[in-house]
Amino acid sequence: MSTTNPQSDAPTDATGRPVDRARVRRRSKQRRRIANVAGLMASLVLTGSLYSVLAPAQAADDTTSESAAEAAGRELYERSCITCHGENLEGEVNRGPSLIGVGEASVYFQVHTGRMPLVRQEAQAPDKPTIFSDEEIDQLMAYVQANGGGPTLPSGNLRDGDLAEGGELFRLNCASCHNFVGEGGALSSGKLAPSLKDTTDLELYTAMLTGPENMPVFGDNQLTPEEKRSVINYIQTVKFQADPGGAGIGRIGPVAEGLVIWVVGIGALMFGIFWMGSKA
């Protein structure tokens, strides 16, 4: 170890010449600065890539536990329904039943027809304009469906059924309460089977599927999805059908028809009599 040793006191450059110490110091300073910058960049890249690896995983976790719609639905629920249906949908004694397992179909029916949120405790939840937008109803449905499951909404054309079969099924299953042309009628204890005139296809379907209040549930074993579509086709067709005889007059029946003729006819006669009397 006699000749040029790079670690010796007198450093030499590649050509063996001794190097200028000041230049070396400057260079090593530069090298240190470069190392610092490189270190900083490396840590930035590392945090960046760590973030990009971890963040989507977190987002994915969120969607599996609660979607945005469910979260929004939970908020609506906590604002408008929790007092009667409980913190975890388990129901509240003397206020409201459990919603576990009722499914999005029941939520759709109850909220879309304006029955829920109930304002007062009554014999029967009144049918009134809904206070929620369609999007909010979807969110409430998502929340209830995700926390208990139950009957879901049907899809496709809900009138895609046999008209004659629908009429037969309607007379067998619905007419006893809702009357032959779906006008509705009074039931015992202040309850009422409402008119089906203003109901939508989806309300009809979900009413059959969930059986609100005194109405029986027509599950898919009692009325298959095809049979439900036939019933809907029948109800919605009858609503717009020409009347079988005489004037419609809201389809309140032949007695009322006679009454209308009586009142209008007598009215006209009286008018004529008074008119002639005033001329004389």
> Given candidates 199, 230, 233, 236, which one binds ligand HEC under the rule CB under 6 A?
199
145's CB contacts (< 8 A; 6+ apart) are 103, 104, 107, 152
- How far is 104 from 216, CA to CA, in rounded Å? 18
CA distances to 120, 185, 192, 211, 246 from 188, rounded to whole Å, are 20, 10, 8, 17, 32
User: Which one of 18-26, 39-47, 200-208, 249-257 is the stretch in contact with ligand HEC (CB under 6 A)?
Assistant: 200-208
Closer of 162 and 257 to ligand HEC (Cβ): 162
The pair of three-digit structure tokens given for residue 209, joined into one six-digit string: 């599927």
Q: What is the dihedral of CA 163, 177, 181, 110, to 10 degrees?
A: -80
Q: Which residue number, 197 or 260, has a Cβ lying nearer to ligand HEC?
A: 197
**Among 72, 89, 158, 204, which residue sits at the site for ligand HEC (rule: CB under 6 A)?**
204
Identify which range of 21-29, 37-45, 199-207, 254-262 contacts ligand HEC by CB under 6 A.
Answer: 199-207
Nearer to ligand HEC, 7 or 188 (CB): 188
Find the binder of ligand HEC among 72, 142, 181, 196 (CB under 6 A): 196
Q: Which residues between 78 and 117 bind ligand HEC (CB under 6 A)?
A: 80-81, 83-85, 95-97, 99, 102, 106-107, 110-111, 113, 115-117
Q: Does 161 bind ligand HEC (CB under 6 A)?
A: no
**Per rule CB under 6 A, is residue 234 in the interface with ligand HEC?**
no
First to last CA, the chain: 153
Residue located via tokens 């989507």: 56
Quote the CA–CA distance of 163 and 124 in Å, as a whole number: 32
**191 lies in the binding site for ligand HEC (CB under 6 A):** yes
Nearest distance from C-beta of residue 138 to ligand HEC, angstroms: 12
Residues 6 or more apart whose Cβ sits within 8 Å of residue 53: none
Q: Smallest distance from the beta carbon of 140 to ligand HEC, in angstroms? A: 5
Q: Are 126 and 115 within 8 A, CB to CB?
A: yes
The amino acid present at 133, given as its one-letter code, is: S
Distance CA 232, CA 8 (A): 100
Residues lying near ligand HEC in the complex (CB under 6 A) are found at 80-81, 83-85, 95-97, 99, 102, 106-107, 110-111, 113, 115-118, 124-125, 127, 140, 173-174, 176-178, 187, 191, 193-194, 196, 199, 203-204, 207-208, 210, 212-216, 218, 231
